[in-house]
Amino acid sequence: MESIKAAIRELAKGMPIDSVNQKLAESLMKDPRIQSFLKKHPDMNEDTFYKSIPKLYQYVTEHNNCEQCPGLNNCPNMLKGYQPDLIYDKQSIALTFKPCSLKRAEEQRKKQSGLVRSFYVPKDILQATFQSIDKSDPERYRALKAAGDFVKAYIDHPESANGLYFYGKFGVGKTYIMGALMNALAERKQVPSLMVYTPDFIRELKGAIQDHTLDEKLDYIKTAPVLILDDIGAETMTPWTRDELLGSILQYRMMEKLPTLYTSNYDYDELEEHLSYSQKSGTESLKAKRIMERIRHYTKLVTIEGTNRRTAGD
């Protein structure tokens, strides 16, 4: 309240306090918001009104500020991003405050960003939206439609929504579209989702054996409401990676009906071949097929073609 009192003192400029109050009262009485407030409370006496002049002055001043809003960062109100409201009860006037539309939007963005979690994924991917993606490319448009269809299906029936498998060469926009999908889920229904860059995350899980955090990290990725395994197939394959990590994660998510989405430079057949071979154990086709059954059956394959947008400056 100190800034309001200072403003009133500035208005006074040596005038007697009674004269200041009278001047402010006359000014406030002309304000349509104060007139409306007084009409709602005809039992209010003059003494209550005069005692509340600083609060009424703050109320009018800050609403005027909002009408000439300079933006949230430059908000001149005492509580930045908040608008005052008047409450009258038992011959007493009080101020309450509620966030303005800009403040609510900022809080929503912060909440949304907290729902979009990732490991080893560039920040620009996490800021992607469907609106920010070029839709003129028919190949990209098909992938965008599939992503939009998934969002709608998940919002309507999360337990029966199948995942997506985006297949395409390096740089065609697979991961960026997945980032937009995550943000759409967070914005429309506050759905938490997790994207992991598979090669680096698997390396982290291997290191987690030493510090005894493997189970904790595995549980974290297993239980994500929506999981995106980015660039699956780029990791170094070992029997442990395939059976103990990937197999464990996908089995749990299949049983719990949690959708898993993928991006890869490999199609289904190429990924199965990748999963079947390791330097230590050679080819283990049956084990690879078991993993692929959990991927094929619970995802829709979407092929994305086109130019490498990273080298093209997109």
Distance CA 274, CA 98 (A): 56
Q: Which long-range contacts (CB under 8 A, 24 or more apart) does 67-75 make?
A: 69/100, 69/102, 71/102, 72/100, 72/102, 72/103, 72/106, 75/102
The pLDDT tens digits of the residues spanning 234-251 come to: 998 889 999 999 999 999
Phi first, then psi: what are they for 229, rounded to 5°? -95, 100
**Lookup: tokens for 262:** 């993928």
Distance CA 94, CA 106 (A): 27
Could you state, in order of their start, the residue ranges of all structural domains in the chain? Answer: 2-99, 108-303
Kindly report the pTM of this predicted structure: 0.67
CATH homologous superfamily of 108-303? P-loop containing nucleotide triphosphate hydrolases (3.40.50.300)
3-state secondary structure of 168: coil
Q: What does pLDDT average to over the chain? A: 86
Match 């406030």 to its residue by tokens.
28
Distance CA 178, CA 165 (A): 10
The pLDDT tens digits of the residues spanning 177-208 come to: 999 999 999 888 888 899 999 999 998 888 88
Phi first, then psi: what are they for 94, rounded to 5°? -130, 160
